[in-house]
């Protein structure tokens, strides 16, 4: 169903992705603060560039996950819009059929019919 802003309520996937985002942020923060970098560099200083490149990739990975979440939200919103459009059409179709049925009933239930 549609929410207040026309968006659907969070799906199980959206909630799982947001949960992943929280854990990923903590994971990256831990690696950046006191993770493998100092230990690796103490044993293998020549891997400095690789360590810096991998740590620098955290930001890009976080932004990419946010983009995935936003795509999921946009798809859900579009899905809600489609459901609303279909519900509106079904309502119109029901009213149309009801009016036709009433018209036929009126036409055949008067004896004789007064012209109006």
Q: Which residues bind Fe ion (CB under 5 A)?
A: 31
Of the pair 31, 73, the CB lying nearest Fe ion is at 31
Which are the contacts of 65, defined by CB distance < 8 A and separation ≥ 6? 17, 20, 21, 24
Q: Nearest 5°: phi and psi at 35?
A: -90, -145
Nearer to Fe ion, 27 or 95 (CB): 27
Chain mean position to CA 19: 14
Minimum Å distance from CB 4 to Fe ion?
37
Shortest Å, Cβ 34 to Fe ion:
13
Angle of CA points 56, 59, 63, to nearest 5°: 150
31 versus 79: smaller Cβ distance to Fe ion: 31
Give the residue closest to Fe ion by C-beta.
Answer: 31
Report, in Å, the least distance between residue 58 CB and Fe ion.
6
């Amino acid at each position: 169903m549609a929410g207040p802003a026309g968006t659907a309520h969070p799906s199980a996937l959206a909630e799982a992705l947001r949960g992943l985002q929280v854990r990923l942020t903590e994971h990256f923060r831990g690696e950046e603060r006191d993770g493998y970098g100092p230990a690796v560099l103490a044993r293998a200083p020549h891997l400095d560039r690789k360590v810096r490149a991998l740590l620098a990739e955290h930001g890009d990975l976080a932004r990419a996950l946010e983009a995935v979440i936003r795509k999921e939200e946009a798809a859900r919103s579009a899905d809600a819009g489609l459901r609303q459009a279909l519900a509106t059409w079904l309502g119109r179709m029901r009213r149309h059929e009801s009016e036709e049925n009433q018209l036929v009933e009126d036409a055949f239930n008067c004896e004789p019919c007064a012209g109006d």
